[in-house]
Every structure is written in C-alpha cells, then in structure tokens.
A and B are shown apart, each in its own frame.
Chain A
Amino acid sequence: MTGIAILLVYVLAFVLAAAAAGLLRRGRARRADFSSLKTVTFGDESAIRPDRLASIASVVVIFLLWGAFTGSKLVPLHVSGPFAGETSFTYQSEGTGGQLSDGRVRITVGPDGTLPAGAETSDDVAVAVQSGRNKLIQLPGDARVVSVNGTEIAPGGAVPVEDGTVSMTSKGTLSFAAERGLQMEPIWLPSPEAVVGRFIEIMANGYQNYSLWEHIGASLLRVLAGFTLGALVGIPLGYAMGLSGWFRGWFDPIVEFMRPVPPLALIPLVIIWFGIWETGKVVLLFLAALWVMAIAARAGVSGVRISKIHAAYSLGASKWQILRHVIVPNSLPEIFTGARVAMGVCWGTVVAAELVAAQMGAGMMIIAAAKFQLTDIVMMGIILIGLIGFGIDLLMRQAETRLVPWKGRS
C-alpha cells in the first residue's frame, strides 16, 4: 500500500514539475539554435536534448521523498512519524465474582521508554513504551479485561485506540503498540543528513582500519589494473581476430563462449584458483575487460570501409602502415565504446568481488557495515560507488570527444 502511495506521489511530482517548468518558461524566448528550430522532434532522436531543469527537479524530488520518509530536518514536509507523547485508553474488567469495574491506562511513548517523574501518582495505570515497540501492560489484581474503549476484546483480538493499538495475548494480557507512522526507522533507511554525517565522520576517521580514500583507492586501483591488463591483451587479440583467419578461428569459440558468462559467475572459480586477495581480483577484472575489449577491437577492424584500405594500398602503404595509420585510428571509436562498457563492467565486478572477500575497498566497506546494520554507511557507500562509476564514464566520454573528434561524422 505504502509502495503504491509513494509511486503515486512520485508520478504527481513528475507531472507537477513539468507543469511548473512549462509555466516558468512561458513567454521566454526560445533559443535559436539548430535543433530548437526543428519543427519535427517527435521521432527525431537527435533533436531531443535532455531538459536540465527536469534533471534538477528529478534529483530534488528524490531527496524530498527520501527526507520526507526519514524525518529529515532538511526537508519541510514529512509523512507521519511514529507517535511520541502521552495517550490513554479505558478498559472494563471482570473480577472473579463477575462484577465489572472500569479503569484507565495512561501511556507515555518516548524514545527511551521511561516514565516521566510523578506519573504514578494517580489511580490510573501508568505505562512507558519505547517508540516502535510493544509493551505488555500489567493491570492491578487478576482483572480479566472484557472491553477496551467500550469495544469488546477477547484473547488474540485487537482494538485500535487513539495513537496506537491495544491487543490481547492468548493468555489475556493487554499489550500496547504505539502508531508507527509512515516514516522509516534509521535502520531501514537513514535520513540524508545521517548519511552525510557518516560520510564526514568516515572521511575523518576512516572505517575498519582504513581511511575512506584507501577503500575507494583500493577499488579504483584494482579496476585500473584489471582493465589495463584486459585492454593490453584484448585489443591486440581483437585486431588479430579481425585480420587473420587463423586467429579468428582459434579464438572465436573461446571469445563467443566467454562473452555471455557474467564475470560474477567466475568469482568462485577465481577464488579457488587465485585466492581471495589482490591477484584473484585483478584476474577477475582482467577477464571482465578482456572479452569486451577483444570484441570491440574486432568490431573496429571489421568496421573499416574497404575503400579506405584499398586507397591506402594504392598509395603504397605496407600492411604494417595500414594497421598503424588506417585500421587503428579507424577503430578508435569502437575501442572507446568498448572501453566505456568494460570500465562499467569492471567497476560493478570489483564491488561484487569485494563483497565476497576483501580487507579494503568500497564493496568491503558496505558489506562490513551491513553486518552491523549500519545502514547509513551502506547508503553512503552505494552513493559513492554510483558517483564514482558515473565519474569514470564521464571522464571516458571526455577523452573520447577529445581523441576521436570524427566519431559518427564520416
């Protein structure tokens, strides 16, 4: 139910933000660049530019929702939180002789579950309940409760009362549970500021014997080592497969077989063969990058227009010169695409491998935190992993536009 409500709120936010952006922009002059002057945009993918306002709104909405459901102080609106404060209910009980008597239970719900001073002065039963917990209520004498707030109750039954629920155990004892509200407890979902706080704390003090930068640096180094080795072997292999029938025939079965095997499936075998420490991880990442790069290089070779090769031969180039001056530069766009994919795969794989076993690393950090239910560290780790993966891709894209400016323009 809550899930559907959240989804509806999210859709509503999407629609409202779109409407607001539309209003905001009305009357403002449109930019006169080439693609905004196009009248046909539906179906012309190249005319679709991401609306940056939408991107900002999207991130803001996620933070608002996150804050609203975790009671964040950074967010003005919250969903209902767990009840805290004083409440009470009345009951009627039947004595051993069948005579009915009324009573009242006063309940204090708070984070520590202790009674405020002077609460026990009146005749009422006073009970303290820790937020989010149940509490059995000891009634005076051997009274057998028959109704709560005027509603009949039997063992196993429950009666909703103000700010909570009163239920009766099978033995006839009453128990009170305060309303939990829609907010998440920090153990399920910590608030944004808790995550940021953790980030600052771990940045200063480190976690599990290593500083944050050592954890992240360890993961990055593994990726870099595995990817570099994979590219160093995979690219020449791909070229060889694109240039020689024997190579193609020899490695085709291997590459085609290894390509669909997810690197994660290799973790057990790699652990058996190379152990759980650095060698094993680098070998795993090497394998993850190898096939992607080999296939990219092979595609790069087969993507060369034959007239370019013919032209180079007619201009007197040797085979080696054609490889160096025609095939390699012509395959660079494919290689870059492959490298981006390989980097993504490596980054995902290294985190997974660190989840299995590691002394340091981004993945190790979150799995260690998860064992102690430190959800804020887990969240922080996931966000960092995502940001770094995004950053890597951004860097690769930038290198691509700088090094392969002719991509897609021939």
Chain B
Amino acid sequence: MSGLTLNNISMRFDLPNGSHVQALQDVSLHLAKGELLSVLGPSGCGKTTLLNIVAGFLAPTAGEITLNGHAVRGPDAERGMVFQEGALFEWMNVRDNVSFGPRMAGRRKADYLPEVDRLLEIVGLKDFRDKAIYELSGGMQQRVALARCLANDPDVILMDEPLGALDALTREKMQALVLKLWKETGKTVMLITHSVEEALLLGERLIVMAPRPGRIHKEYRLPFAELGAGMDLREVKKHPDFGTTREDILSMIWNMEEEIMGHMEPAS
C-alpha cells in the first residue's frame, strides 16, 4: 500500500519516579501520497512525540508505522524533517547545508549541484549560498532548512512548528512558500503547528489532538490549501468557511486547555 500508515500507535513514557505518561493512545492515520496533513492540539498532547515516532527517532510502545508498504524502524532519508530552529550546521555555508543529504549519499557534485542551486533559487537564497548560517535571519535559516530537506528528495516531509519562531509577516510569506513547494513537488507532508490559521491554510487535512492520553480528537478535510495554491493567502482567509472553522477549532482547543487546567487545580 502506498502512503504513510499509522496503525494504533501508543506511546507510554515511564518516569523515573515510577509513574508514567501516556503520551499517545491508539493513534491511527493514513496519509496518501501527496497529502498535506496539519496537526493541532493543546500543548503536551503528544504532537512532537507522534512526529518523532514517524521520523523514527522514537519507537512506539505499541503499534506500527508503514511507509509505502514497509515498516518504519528508524530514521531514514525517505522521511525528511524540518525543525523549529537550530538544526542547521553552522560550520557549513548555505549551499553545503542544502547539499548535505546528496553529499552523504555519495552522489557526484555534478549530479546534485544544479538541483541544489535550483532549490536555493526557489527559496530566494541564490545570492546567499556562500554565506555562513549565522549571517542569516531566522526566516532565511528556515528557508535553508526547507531547501535542505527538499534537496534530499524524501517521500514524506515532517515539520515540527517550522515557522514557530518567526515573526508574523515572515511567517505569512513562508506559509505561501510551503504551499507552493508542496504543490510543485507533490510531497506527502505532516505539519505540526500551534497556529490554527496556519493549520487551516496549509492543511488539506487537519487533525486536532486531545491530551491525556494523546489521541486524535477530530479530523477535518479542508479546501483552503487547494485555494491557497492559486490565490493570495490573505484572500483565502476571507473565505466565509475559514472564519467559522477557525472559531470552531479554537474553542475546541480552548476547552481542552481549560480541562487540563481544571485537572491541575486539585493537585496544587
């Protein structure tokens, strides 16, 4: 079967004091090739844990993940990852960062350099390719991270709040870029975000997770990513459904957070 399949994933962390945290409980999901899924949920509901399991950095305590029919056992070049920040290699310049994957795979320079330069052009960093990483702004660094991931041509791209550290304006531009890259490359994408708006704009599908134990609470299919590929994202936000869905999800997450706070009260 093609695509990414999560089969009853559960994750339990045993804490040193003897208690344990059920970070995920029976999470099942299927992502077809080329789908973009955004994941929302209150803090601590297990989003990062889920993504780390898909990336292969964590082994779930129960359940199985398959990609294109084979089981996921550890990290691999077929599943690329874009982190929030600080995952670039400061000791390499922009171009060496982007070409890291192909270089490690032992490909010849002539093979990968044109593609690397093309990606740098797409993310608007053609003139910065010889610059050091610490000379770039936060938004530029995230564009390098995107290009680095794409240069390796993964089947699935996993993003954990990739735009979380950026300011609102840069963030909007980057959202358009992510959307454009997704449309152009047809990659399967799983995107974690804290911004409901971002989740709506970018996600073809959207899941809202609930905490304690972490599970999928509700799933949406959304038209906005399709719209956004053809028009200005600001226009998309004016769509009547956009506002209502946003309010819907916001109050859902708000209620969950309330519940958590309520949970905490008796303990303190």
Contact = CB atoms under 8 A, between A and B. Distances in A.
Interface of A: 305, 307-308, 310-318, 321, 325-326, 329-330, 332, 404-406, 409-410
Contacts of B76: 313-314, 316
Contacts of B86: 305, 307-308, 410
Contact of B77 (A307, A310, A314, A404): A314
Given A315-B148, A329-B91, A307 B100 contact: no
Interface of B: 55-57, 74-77, 79-81, 83-84, 86-91, 100-101, 104-105, 132-134, 148-149, 152, 154, 158
17 contacts: A305-B87, A307-B83, A307-B84, A307-B86, A308-B89, A311-B81, A311-B83, A311-B148, A314-B75, A315-B101, A315-B152, A316-B76, A316-B104, A329-B89, A329-B91, A406-B133, A410-B86
A405 B152 contact: no
Given A310-B75, A321-B104, A406 B81 contact: no
Contacts of B77: 314-316
Nearest to B83: A307
Given A321-B104, A406-B133, A314 B79 contact: yes
A318 B87 contact: no
A320 to B, nearest CB: 10
A306 to B, nearest CB: 9
Contact of B87 (A307, A316, A404): A307
Contacts, number: 79
B235 to A, nearest CB: 35
Contacts of B104: 312, 315-318, 321, 325
B238 to A, nearest CB: 36
Which of A310, A315, A318, A405: most chain B CB closer than 10 A?
A315
B148 to A, nearest CB: 7
B87 A406 contact: no
Given A305-B86, A315-B80, 9 more contacts: A307-B87, A313-B74, A314-B149, A315-B104, A316-B152, A325-B100, A405-B132, A409-B134, A410-B90
Contacts of A410: 86, 90, 133-134
A314 B132 contact: no
A182 to B, nearest CB: 56
The 5 closest A-B pairs by CB, nearest first: A316-B77, A313-B75, A406-B90, A315-B101, A409-B134
Contacts of A307: 83-84, 86-87
A94 to B, nearest CB: 93
B87 A409 contact: no
A336 to B, nearest CB: 13
